[in-house]
Homo-oligomer: A and B are copies of this chain.
Amino acid sequence: RRTGVPEAIFCHGKTPAQIDAIAAAAGDRRLLLTRLSPTLHAALAPETRALLDHDPLSATALLGGGVPLAASGIGIVAAGTSDLAVAREAARTLAFAGYDAEIFADVGVAGLWRLMARLDEFRRCRVLIAVAGMEGALFSVLAGLVEAPVIAVPTSVGYGVAAGGTAALHAALASCAPGVVVVNIDNGFGAAAAALKMLRAYSRAM
């Protein structure tokens, strides 16, 4: 809160009982729960589940109800359908903070014409979150085409040398397109938090 980012609970590695306790103690505070897998969600107490708006694909849950969404100017570009879970984690974090964001799906680099077809939409965004796994070529191509800041989220989608996401991470960091900034592998939440910090700096600046 103090630093302008939403309060979130990282659920992976916590026991159901611990999460139940956190939910019970929340009182009036709104909370975002991340990495709450369908299995973990199913293991929570019925009282807790009743309080949660859970999205299985992104493994996120909102506690304390939604808020009306304002337009954010943030676009989320996902290279493949397998990257959608991470893209949705970013979108849900923005929604928790009261912002709407469009997800552009299936615009990977191997089919460059699909990406080019949506370029005008991308150029209208104030911040772009790019989500890609495997070789992560999307980050450089996108950042070479738009003026807005590009936040790269490498994903762990892939096998062989791409397993775990370091190939995409290194592609993002080594991008020949200057100005790409990067967050941890699969960290859709962090990308959204960074985008929110930028939005906040915009309004302070004005």
Contact = CB atoms under 8 A, between A and B. Distances in A.
Contacts of A37: none
Interface in A144-173: 144-151, 156-173
Q: How large is the interface on A (under 10, 10 to 19, 20 to 34, 35 or more residues)?
A: 35 or more
A19 to B, nearest CB: 10
Tell me the dominant secondary structure on chain A's binding face.
mixed
Given A112-B144, A126-B205, A144-B112, A186 B174 contact: no
A8 interface: yes
Chain copies in the assembled complex: 8
A166 to B, nearest CB: 8
Contacts of A182: 173, 181-183
A148 B201 contact: yes
A50 interface: no
Contact of A184 (B81, B82, B157, B173): B173
Most chain B beta-carbon neighbours within 10 Å: one of A170, A186, A206: A170
A75 B140 CA distance: 23
Interface stretch (A10-18, A23-31, A41-49, A58-66): A10-18
Given A179-B193, A183-B182, A140 B109 contact: yes
A147 B3 contact: yes
B134 A135 contact: no
In the complex, which of the residues A139, A141, A159 has the most CB atoms of chain B within 10 Å of its own CB atom?
Answer: A159
Contact of A174 (B140, B158, B201): B158
B140 A176 contact: no
A94 B152 CA distance: 22
Given A159-B186, A179-B190, 7 more contacts: A108-B176, A109-B141, A135-B137, A135-B172, A147-B197, A161-B184, A181-B181
